[in-house]
Structure 1
């Protein structure tokens, strides 16, 4: 009866049907991605490495392919995150050598021997236990290093071959690179030092204003503008600031020049007549 009732409800409201379908698809994709990550087997099982590996969940269930041409050799490389690269069982990264009608597939690394570590905007993925070298590197097993770097412009970039080191006696490797936004840090989760200092300054200012206002009002009993903490100091500080600005920003003497100074009213009064009778000849 409950199933029939639900059927009647959803049949009358098509919007609910589509909402349910979208939720099922999203849940299925999340579970599918988690299963892909869990297919990897870490060499050294640790919580930190699983945390790094989970950052790469959007890259699961996809083959990344690149063709490398080196002198007279041409190889095709196929990489898959925690999955069978090119359909080869257990292989995380393979090399395909096609010459005429013959095709030779070499396993470079397996995802059941995985290592993962990284920092803010990059992850290094290592696949070990590949096929042994025939002549090089003391016939040790191959291994692959895959560098996944942050690039917010692409969801899944192209696989690139950076280097193949096989001239050593041991510890030879293949180095690859992929750009992806999956490993980019969340910009909202990180604050710059300037933002942190600004937040601290605003908090201290708020504590000063609120605490000072409450003290002046409740303890001192101040009213009006005197409730502002250290009101007398800030008024005097404002006046001093204005005087300093006036002194620095204004040039010259503010008083009028002596050449253009107004004549005092007293100077306009008639001066007593100067007698010069003593200069006349007797």
Structure 2
């Protein structure tokens, strides 16, 4: 590749693009960079759930009196830039600032549940005085938390008070291991959706027909307007008949007795009907 020097910083730009392209190629490996101790389809499937966390450094710090330890974890990548290291430890007392490798990502185990993944890096550096000088091992528990894509790593435990099987335990929360939320539509919901769709087609189609073909105006544009008005009236009458509690048969009005005698009706005389 030819690099052209220019006063406007062209060289820096070219090298920046080269670095980004190399990083991009490396990043596309994702979890494939992790080498399983025993290759299996199930473990590889568990690792694939962590694809979004690959090649990112996570740090945690612990204090024990005057001792300060800093841990760096990277999923399927060189933690802190140390080749092959998945988890490393920095001791504040060390003057050379050389990290201790706790686990290697070319010796990986992966165990998964519905909302968690346990990642194990083995074949770290040997203990000096503990655990029968066996090789260190890191265990990273990644739990589901839908509120954050990448949480903060915490050091839960360093179990080295045993003859063998010692380990470092870390905890990390992430939405990457959360199960997908399944949505189920009930039969009743499906029926309602179909009903609303049919109603919309009826109203829109009927309105367009009445307006464009028939030439109706105003409320007459509503499809089958006369029918629906009559149905509405009949429904209202039926509801009024069924739901109202007033007595349908009104009692005859009470009529009091007048204090004064009623005038006698004049007697109709039919004398004029008699023959003379």
TM range (shorter): 0.5 to 0.7
d(CA) in 2 for partners of 1:56, 1:185: 12
Bigger Rg over Cα: 2
Of 114, 120, 126, the residue aligned with 2:114 is 120
User: Are the equivalent residues in 2 in contact too, given 1:125–1:145 (CA < 8 A)?
Assistant: yes
Map residues 110-189 of structure 1 onto 2, 5 A cutoff. Answer: 110-187=104-181
Map residues 1-282 of structure 1 onto 2, 5 A cutoff. Answer: 32-99=26-93, 101-187=95-181, 190-191=182-183, 199=186
d(CA) in 1 for partners of 2:70, 2:43: 29
User: Are the equivalent residues in 2 in contact too, given 1:33–1:58 (CA < 8 A)?
Assistant: no
d(CA) in 2 for partners of 1:100, 1:38: 34
SS of the aligned residue for 2:173 comes to strand
Residue by residue over 1:38-96, the C-alpha shift from the partner in whole angstroms, topping out at 9 and shown as x without a partner, is: 11100111111111111111212221112111233211111111111111111100111
d(CA) in 2 for partners of 1:203, 1:55: 33
Figure out how many residues of one structure are paired with residues of the other and give that number.
201
Q: Which runs of 5+ in 2 are unaligned?
A: 1-19, 193-241, 257-276
User: Are the equivalent residues in 2 in contact too, given 1:98–1:104 (CA < 8 A)?
Assistant: no
Structure 1 residue 264: Cα displacement: 11
TM-score by length of 1: 0.57
Q: Which runs of 5+ in 1 are unaligned?
A: 1-24, 206-242, 256-260, 269-282
More helix by proportion, 1 or 2? 1
Q: Cα RMSD (Å) of the superposition?
A: 3.9
d(CA) in 2 for partners of 1:32, 1:179: 25
User: Are the equivalent residues in 2 in contact too, given 1:41–1:113 (CA < 8 A)?
Assistant: yes
